[in-house]
Chains A and B, each alone.
Chain A
């Protein structure tokens, strides 16, 4: 039975359960909803939950576990000799899976008889020909062993699915019976539903948390893997970044310092642009602008935040770079060789961060209570005195937090760097020189056909880990500061 049908049937049972459960509860109360412990709908929901949750959970687990089990038992049947010289059991197994799928599809499409597909002594050349005719992908020539294994695989798969459908349906019906038996006027259906909702929310939260943990763990393991192949000291303190592209030669130098310096330098330029402009526009918008100006200007600034960074990257490459080059390049001051430079990327990234800084600071400035301003004005202070001496000091921790958040975005930014800063990993002080960042190098290490067990590819995880620790540190610091500031007015 196809999966979709199974799900639909379970849902159907749930709907029926809802109606029946509701009706039964009402009947037990003599048709008067006021005699029920909970509103009638809760009894219906209770039944539906008991139908859906256990059966669907079992189905999910089954779907995950079945292929693992089948894989294990089928791969055990493949004889040693069936694995070709330069291949591995894993590759053979994926061929087996592909063939099994091909058989299934070919039979379903009518391109092959069921008898042939299941015949263990079938001629594998014929099967393979028919599979190809039916438009199924079979890359290399089938062997008898692979065909046998594929047939086993298919058989076990179909069998497993049938059992699963049965189990799921039985569970759904059992849930129905259980829920209906409970649908009595004294039953606290409302509390049960409440608990289920709580369980649902907890499940959602744990998925989010578990995924994060999973990502971090995979980063950590791959980083450790990298450090087994490449000395950590060379990575952290090396001043040259020159991976060899073959991925085989041991001649790569993978020092992170030039990349960190590039990241740091570009982010600083970006913050120098974004912080004053963002902060001043926030002050203007929240303290001076009339409501009319504000209602136009604030959304405009926020549109800036909605522009995808690749567009900023284009802007850097096509507009800002050439513009800077015409001033600082050979025809001008002669400091700049090409359009891609720290300055280009930094300026554009700064523009990208302006709305980020300004809208966060605006919120923080607005959170300073009006009574502070009144107090200051009441003592005869002017507007700018009030801002400088009362509002900004009061909002400062929050603003620092906003700047740190902006900094961690700058550090994580990729596209603008790829297009605006060039690809050369350099330790240089000249802001008109091309440099590159950690993120941009992660991209370039992993694009192309990388061998994922070479240090040149694994270094991406070490870079990612470094970046993660950096931004995490900044974010924690920012949150700590912002939180501390919140307490002041409570």
Chain B
């Protein structure tokens, strides 16, 4: 049923990038993430799958402390990036988010020009030495976001004037422009047509050479195509985590099997 060829995995040789231990997340009284422990690898694409509302976005947002911006959200447990606890008091969440970039579930371009949208991160972090350098960074990011050809003639038009799919690719370009070490992508392709999806998947595959990419997706085919590792969440629990090929061909848990064959979800 999954006709896309599963990529050979070479996971064993990779280092762990992010370690999560016994993570619990509460929204007020709602217990959204329950005792999740997982090791996420460097230079690897990890897919988070699971039915709607199971906590994929919530867990993803723990990894760059975006949950700090939600008043009622409480995170317990330990998450470390390269061995450093990111919830330690001494860690600056702003610095952390520069290292762990994020593409959101809904496209959210700033009401600025396309160019300024992409240049935003590099400017804040002082990545460009001069204007020409910044132009280069912007162009490279837009190319990687598979949107350069569509916008190269109107870089100074507002980003909000693009179509939904274009906006999403703009947001991807914006996130990669800051050169993060880890890229969190929350359903980046939910608003994209198959062609743009293919381009974004290519980008993800390319990013794997340098970064660790974590992608939330509702498409089994996509998870199977782009990821080397897959984590299946259900009702706030991490049910199963392992090699993508393993999960899709021979899942251990019956819930995983039901989900990927379309019986629950």
Contact = CB atoms under 8 A, between A and B. Distances in A.
Nearest to A382: B94
A156 B115 CA distance: 82
B69 A375 contact: no
A156 to B, nearest CB: 70
Contacts, number: 71
A227 B53 CA distance: 72
A390 interface: yes
A372 B69 contact: no
Interface in B50-71: 64, 66, 69, 71
B108 A379 contact: no
Contact of A378 (B95, B104, B109): B104
A394 interface: yes
A374 B66 contact: yes
B101 A372 contact: no
B209 interface: no
A378 B182 CA distance: 12
Given A372-B108, A394-B110, A378 B97 contact: yes
Contacts of A385: 124
Contacts of B109: 375
Nearest to B70: A370
B41 interface: no
Contact of B97 (A377, A389, A488): A377
B111 A379 contact: no
Given A376-B120, A378-B97, A488-B160, A390 B110 contact: yes
A166 interface: no
B66 A372 contact: no
B98 A380 contact: yes
A371 B160 CA distance: 13
Contacts of A370: 69
Majority DSSP secondary structure for residues of A touching B: helix
A377 B95 CA distance: 10
Given A389-B120, A393-B112, A377 B69 contact: yes
B114 interface: no
Interface residues of B, number: 28
Contact of A371 (B64, B106, B121): B106
Contacts of A393: 110-112
A369 B71 CA distance: 16
Contacts of B102: 378
A379 B101 CA distance: 6
A381 B175 contact: no
B57 to A, nearest CB: 11
A315 B129 CA distance: 55
Contacts of B97: 377-380
Interface in A335-387: 369-382, 385
A381 B96 CA distance: 10
Contacts of B64: 378
A79 interface: no
A379 B178 contact: yes
Nearest to A485: B111
Contacts of A374: 66, 69, 104, 108
A291 interface: yes
A370 B178 CA distance: 21
Interface in A246-276: none
B43 interface: no
Interface string A34-53: 00000000000000000000
B111 A291 contact: no
B94 A380 contact: yes
Nearest to B99: A380
B208 interface: no
Interface of B: 64, 66, 69, 71, 94-99, 101-102, 104, 106, 108-112, 120-121, 124-125, 160, 171, 174-175, 178
18 contacts: A369-B108, A370-B69, A371-B104, A373-B69, A374-B66, A375-B171, A375-B174, A377-B69, A377-B97, A379-B101, A379-B121, A380-B98, A380-B124, A380-B125, A381-B120, A381-B121, A389-B124, A394-B111
Given A380-B96, A389-B110, 18 more contacts: A373-B69, A374-B69, A374-B108, A375-B171, A377-B94, A378-B64, A378-B66, A378-B101, A379-B101, A379-B120, A379-B121, A379-B174, A379-B178, A380-B124, A381-B94, A381-B121, A382-B94, A389-B124
